[in-house]
Structure 1
Amino acid sequence: MKSKRSYSRATRVAQNILEVAASLLMSEVKDPRIEHVQLNEVKLTPDLRIAKVYYILIDSDKFDEEAQTGLESCAGFVRRQLGDRLDLRHIPEIHFIWDESVHEGRRIEKLLSEIKYSDEEEK
């Protein structure tokens, strides 16, 4: 029963981190390198010490080194703000990670539509 309880706590904490971090990036961080960043998901380690924050770029399907650098430069600020806004014993380290799954999903959709189009042409 303990693992189920810790899972729900980790899920709640991850959701809170996502909401606060997204709000901070939109309203308080004034770095032009991260203007087109959208946070998708937060995954926490079981001990809640490390938060992997997954993001995409709204206007691009490709990894952008500048956006990554901008996010890394504001990670300390985000962590401090999380400490002020969330009631946690330990504030997790923040690691921003480009979410390749969205890019892969779009690539697969494109391939499937090409297959469907070629099947329709054959008929």
Structure 2
Amino acid sequence: MAREFHRADRVADAMRRELAQLIQMEVRDPRVGMVNVNDVEVSRDLTSAKVFVTLVGEDDPAKINTSMEVLNRAAGFLRSQLARVIQMRSVPRLQFRYDETSVRGQQLSALIDKAVKADRSHQSSDDGDDKE
């Protein structure tokens, strides 16, 4: 059975696309670098939206916190800009959240690579013992 797309899903998708452009073009604060908008979750009643973002090339927790504060302060401005583009009676309030899934994925990938490398070196040392 095909998945039904609810209005909140359609609004979230439209907001994700528009916010990616708006943040890049309109937020001119130097404390905010390159921002990827990964996902937007809109409440069922369309009153609030959680915007999950990552900061490209940024690992310092202090800079990440600063950037998130700047984005949350700019939420009202971004909401007003969204209202001009998205035809809705009322645009959801925005809450920006740092999305750690990509960072965590990279850490897990590094751990897997390390385990595979250790396993290969362990197997090659075992093969050398069999020849003697």
TM-score of the aligned structures, taking structure 2 as reference length? 0.83
Q: Distance in 2 between matches of 1:118 and 1:95?
A: 43
**SS of residue paired to 1:41:** strand
Deviations 1:26-57 (A, max 9, x none): 11221111122211110111111111000011
**SS of residue paired to 1:87:** coil
**SS of residue paired to 2:31:** helix
- Specify whether residues 65 and 49 from structure 1 end up closer, same or farther in structure 2 by C-alpha distance, changes over 3 A only: same
Which stretches of structure 1, 4 residues or more, deviate above 6 A after TM superposition? none
Q: Distance in 1 between matches of 2:90 and 2:65?
A: 29
Aligned residues: 120
CA RMSD of aligned residues (A): 1.9
* Residue ranges of structure 1 left out of the alignment (5+ in a row): none
- 1:13 partnered with 2:5: no
Counterpart of 1:42, as a letter, is V
Instruction: Please state how far the C-alpha of 1:61 moved relative to its aligned partner.
Output: 3.9
Q: Distance in 2 between matches of 1:6 and 1:65?
A: 36
Aligned 8 A contact 2:82 2:91 in 1 = yes
Counterpart of 1:66, as a letter, is T
Counterpart of 1:115, as a letter, is A
Aligned 8 A contact 2:24 2:35 in 1 = no
* Residue ranges of structure 2 left out of the alignment (5+ in a row): 124-132
- 1:83 partnered with 2:65: no
Instruction: Please state how far the C-alpha of 1:10 moved relative to its aligned partner.
Output: 1.4
Q: Equivalent of 1:36, from 34, 37, 52?
A: 34
- Specify whether residues 86 and 6 from structure 1 end up closer, same or farther in structure 2 by C-alpha distance, changes over 3 A only: farther
TM-score of the aligned structures, taking structure 1 as reference length? 0.89
**SS of residue paired to 2:46:** coil
- Specify whether residues 61 and 98 from structure 1 end up closer, same or farther in structure 2 by C-alpha distance, changes over 3 A only: same
Alignment of 1:1-123 (within 5 A): 7-63=5-61, 64-123=64-123
Q: Could you tell me the percent identity over the aligned residues?
A: 32
**SS of residue paired to 2:87:** coil
